[in-house]
Structure 1
Amino acid sequence: MRDPTLPPFTRGDERRYIAALVITVSLFFLWGMANNLNDILIAQFRKAFTLSDFGTSFVQQVFYFGYFVLAVPASMVVRRFGYKAAIVTGLTLYGIGALLFYPAAQASVYQLFLLALFVIAAGLAFLETSANPLMTELGDPSTAARRLNWAQAANPLGAITGILVGRFFILSGIEHDERALAAMDASARTAFYRTEVQAVAGPYVWIAVIVLAFAIAAAFVAFPKGAAEADDTPTGGRFLDVFRHPRLIGAVVAQFFYVGAQVGLWSYTIRYAQANAGFSERAGADALFVSLVLFATGRFIGTGLMARLAPVRLLAAFATVSLVLATIAGTIGGTLGLYALVAASFFMSIQFPTIFAIGIEKLGTLRRAGASLIVMAIIGGAGLTALMGLISDRTSITHAMLVPALSFIVVLAFAITSDRSLAKTG
């Protein structure tokens, strides 16, 4: 049965909003590219600025803190001004943040790169807070999880593009050990570090040009207004009302741990491959590339399976396999551990959008407030990645993979409790 708080969406709307839908699906691609370029930056900055694993984790800490801080303001912009304003704002911030990589590279200051990443993340908070609920509103609520998964299929394609850009245009393949660096004279060593820092500027400037072009295009395209105008109903305007929905709160907790697991696994895949399989940084990037191909494949296959299996039960199955594979990576290590780590990406594929769709199901006019709360949970990518960096510095990168393993237990628990809840409510 259709949620009466959502506006009807007809075939005429599909024709009218075709350009908006194309742009919206493109957003999933664009933020996937930004998210996974961070995994390349971690490897590059570790070398260019001689950082520890915990030191490199600030890339993700700052990035996902930006999501956390801007998610609710983004929701307010969507509610007050609509999808279009939020999407244009998000793309503009994304483009500005990418442009800031150029002065950061000229100054060769790590903290300036972190500032640029924060601005990019602020833009992505607007995009995710807009695009995810928009896709769930455009059609039958009973197929919202499947529809969002199809739209999210563009996300791993963007992630793969980001890894390819990083592998071929950022990572140099030059890896000097401490002895080789010590043997260099000061000017040669400085030149090496500066070259590695400068490598990140060009790709990000081009990304900025593309993203700002999308912002201009979005400004001239009609977007659905959605359910924002319904906020004058008795249940519509109170953000605190979302805390009365236990399934939403469960989704927020599950998303915190899921995003932490995903970001942590991918952030340290290159490092894990170097430590466990003796890979070079570029070979490690290839392992990450395979992970993302599996992730994209899993998204398409998993979404197709949702036509026959309940999304919440598929979530439980995928979380279980992810838990087993992450445990192998965190305990056995070696080449087998790397294979398990890479394979886990296939089963992570449907988890984010499925948790999201289950969490905001039947929220009505609170849907966008609930969406912003789930987007805030992306801060898990900062907290758990930092924890993994600390564990890696004090023990090993292998043992750090037990953090994602524990995270998948939380996702599995959410899937089981949600399955029972949905069975009771029909």
Structure 2
Amino acid sequence: MQITNQAGDQHDAPLETGNGTVNYKVPFILITSLFFLWGMAHNLDSVLIPHLKKACELNNSQSTLIDTSVFFAYFIMAIPAGMLIKRFGYKTSIIVGLLVFATGAFLFVPAADSRTYELFLFALFVIGCGLTILETSANPYATILGPAEASSKRINLAASFNALAAVVAPFVGSLFILSGTNHTKEQMAAMPETEKAAYLLGEAQAVKMPYIVLGTVLVLVAIAFYFMHLPSMKPKHTEVEVKPGFFSVLKFRHLTWAVVAQFFYVGAQVCVTSFFIRIAQQGAGLDEKTAAFYLGGYGFLFMAGRFIGTFFLKFVKDYVLLSIYCVISALLSLVAIYGSGMGVLYALGGIGFFMSIMFPTIFSLGIKGLKSNTETGSSWLVMSIVGGAIIPYGMGTLIDMNHDDIQSGYVIPLVCFLIILSFGAIGHKVKTISE
């Protein structure tokens, strides 16, 4: 079966089942389930940040170490994940990723029982390692399960279920993690030490059940993958081509641009969600459970944006839609910075809608035309997720410098969207190494 990739080149890339036929549907459904699962992990972090800030008595920059722990794992594990895929294949790598992810989820139990923030961070780092393996495997796999010219639409469709988790996770967090009880500094200082210790321990232990359930589900999904057949991604016949090493692959200039764009996109997304509950409390006067409800609304808009964006990609070039959405997101960031009351939350919801297609679209454009270098390019794009470890910490520090003014920190996502715009407008253009 001849498949034309986005660069216009043709290569034999049949996805073979055991009887020689091609089956895309079942593998695509299985891969899509992974997008939902790692979406749950990431979106629960948006609840964990304000919750553990309270339970472990942290400042803003300390609370963003939750993001740092998860996303730094992407930087550390991206190369080993790529090596794992090349050595053992996608199916084995996915199973390993699921089990590592589950291990991190189960580590929340001792972390909560001891109310040890460092152990929470280690558990989140382990989760991040599992997520790295899953994303390095699933993102390129989703792009090749069908005609190459539809790869952007396909990965956006799979990522729509990642966005579904952005709706589900805040409601899970609101019901099972957030207590709705907040004490002022004065009230905490006046509280007897035994009562204070019991209160803080109870807050910390609230995370145990959701993560036990999540870990159990991950183990069951890993078992399902073990017994399911996944078609091979390897082509039957490949043309002889130059295959650069890990660093020299960056001579593909569009990949380099994509790595930079993805770094700032992930940073922007994590910034927007990490401080959503805090800005809802500070700017709109909402309690934390109501704020989590609105975070779920943000997730709904994010999910809707994925589905609607996937539809628009049938009629609009992916890089054009990316550029338009960046401009709108930058304008909405200005509203978040200078607006007031519920208008700020509505602006953030709008950002969620227009931000929704950015990750999968940048990923698809970044690996366009890489052929046998796709795995290496994917590793670089997954490594760039480290932006989620670095940029939110900068935002938290900026907020602390501005006396806990949450709105002032949203200048950081604004700058990120302008950088991503440059990729959509210019940097996406494919140039080969020879060019």
Whether the 8 Å contact between 1:5 and 1:227 is mirrored in structure 2 is no
Matched to 1:8, the amino acid is P
Map of 1:216 onto structure 2: 223
1:124 equivalent among 117, 127, 131: 131
Residue 307 of structure 1 and its aligned partner are, at CA, apart by 0.5
Map of 2:212 onto structure 1: 205
- CA distance in 1 between counterparts of 2:66 and 2:237 reads 39
Matched to 2:309, the amino acid is G
- CA distance in 2 between counterparts of 1:160 and 1:166 reads 11
Residue 234 of structure 1 and its aligned partner are, at CA, apart by 5.0
Secondary structure of the corresponding residue to residue 279 of structure 1: coil
Secondary structure of the corresponding residue to residue 247 of structure 2: helix
Matched, 1:83 2:84: no
- CA distance in 2 between counterparts of 1:158 and 1:242 reads 33
My pick for the range that moved more, 299-308 or 16-25, is 16-25
Matched to 1:111, the amino acid is E
Cα deviations across residues 167-215 of structure 1 (Å, max 9, x unaligned)?
A: 1000010111112222221111111000000000111011000001111
Percent identity, please.
Answer: 39
Cα deviations across residues 214-253 of structure 1 (Å, max 9, x unaligned)?
A: 1111111122221388899553473234111000000000
Matched to 1:7, the amino acid is A
Matched, 1:8 2:14: yes
**Counterparts of residues 3-402 of structure 1 (less than 5 Å):** 3-5=9-11, 7-9=13-15, 16=23, 18-227=25-234, 235-236=242-243, 238-395=245-402, 396-402=405-411
Whether the 8 Å contact between 1:32 and 1:156 is mirrored in structure 2 is yes
RMSD: 2.0
Whether the 8 Å contact between 2:143 and 2:151 is mirrored in structure 1 is yes
Map of 1:404 onto structure 2: 413
TM-score normalised over the length of structure 1? 0.95
Whether the 8 Å contact between 1:141 and 1:361 is mirrored in structure 2 is no
Matched to 1:406, the amino acid is V
- CA distance in 1 between counterparts of 2:158 and 2:40 reads 15
Matched to 1:28, the amino acid is F
Secondary structure of the corresponding residue to residue 153 of structure 1: helix
Pair 1:51–1:18, CA change in 2 (3 A): same
Q: Gapped runs of 5+ residues in structure 2?
A: none
2:422 equivalent among 405, 413, 416: 413
Q: Gapped runs of 5+ residues in structure 1?
A: none
- Structure (1/2) with the larger helix percentage: 1
My pick for the range that moved more, 274-283 or 222-231, is 222-231
Cα deviations across residues 386-410 of structure 1 (Å, max 9, x unaligned)?
A: 0010011111211100000000001
Matched to 1:400, the amino acid is G
Pair 1:314–1:93, CA change in 2 (3 A): same
Residue 366 of structure 1 and its aligned partner are, at CA, apart by 0.4
Matched to 1:214, the amino acid is V
- CA distance in 2 between counterparts of 1:287 and 1:132 reads 29
Secondary structure of the corresponding residue to residue 277 of structure 2: helix
- CA distance in 2 between counterparts of 1:421 and 1:203 reads 44
Residue 139 of structure 1 and its aligned partner are, at CA, apart by 1.6
Whether the 8 Å contact between 2:159 and 2:360 is mirrored in structure 1 is yes
- CA distance in 1 between counterparts of 2:377 and 2:11 reads 15
Residue 338 of structure 1 and its aligned partner are, at CA, apart by 2.3
Residue 5 of structure 1 and its aligned partner are, at CA, apart by 4.7
Secondary structure of the corresponding residue to residue 39 of structure 1: helix
My pick for the range that moved more, 133-142 or 250-259, is 133-142
My pick for the range that moved more, 219-228 or 154-163, is 219-228
Whether the 8 Å contact between 1:79 and 1:228 is mirrored in structure 2 is no
Residue 154 of structure 1 and its aligned partner are, at CA, apart by 0.7
Whether the 8 Å contact between 1:19 and 1:221 is mirrored in structure 2 is no
Residue 298 of structure 1 and its aligned partner are, at CA, apart by 0.6
Cα deviations across residues 73-102 of structure 1 (Å, max 9, x unaligned)?
A: 111111121101110010000001000001
Whether the 8 Å contact between 1:6 and 1:364 is mirrored in structure 2 is no
Pair 1:165–1:6, CA change in 2 (3 A): farther
- CA distance in 1 between counterparts of 2:256 and 2:370 reads 12
Residue 10 of structure 1 and its aligned partner are, at CA, apart by 7.3
Matched to 2:407, the amino acid is T
Whether the 8 Å contact between 1:17 and 1:223 is mirrored in structure 2 is no
Secondary structure of the corresponding residue to residue 103 of structure 1: helix
Pair 1:17–1:413, CA change in 2 (3 A): closer
My pick for the range that moved more, 380-389 or 226-235, is 226-235
Pair 1:398–1:261, CA change in 2 (3 A): same
- CA distance in 2 between counterparts of 1:228 and 1:173 reads 54
Whether the 8 Å contact between 1:257 and 1:408 is mirrored in structure 2 is yes
My pick for the range that moved more, 5-14 or 181-190, is 5-14
Matched to 1:308, the amino acid is F
- CA distance in 2 between counterparts of 1:237 and 1:211 reads 35
Pair 1:172–1:151, CA change in 2 (3 A): same
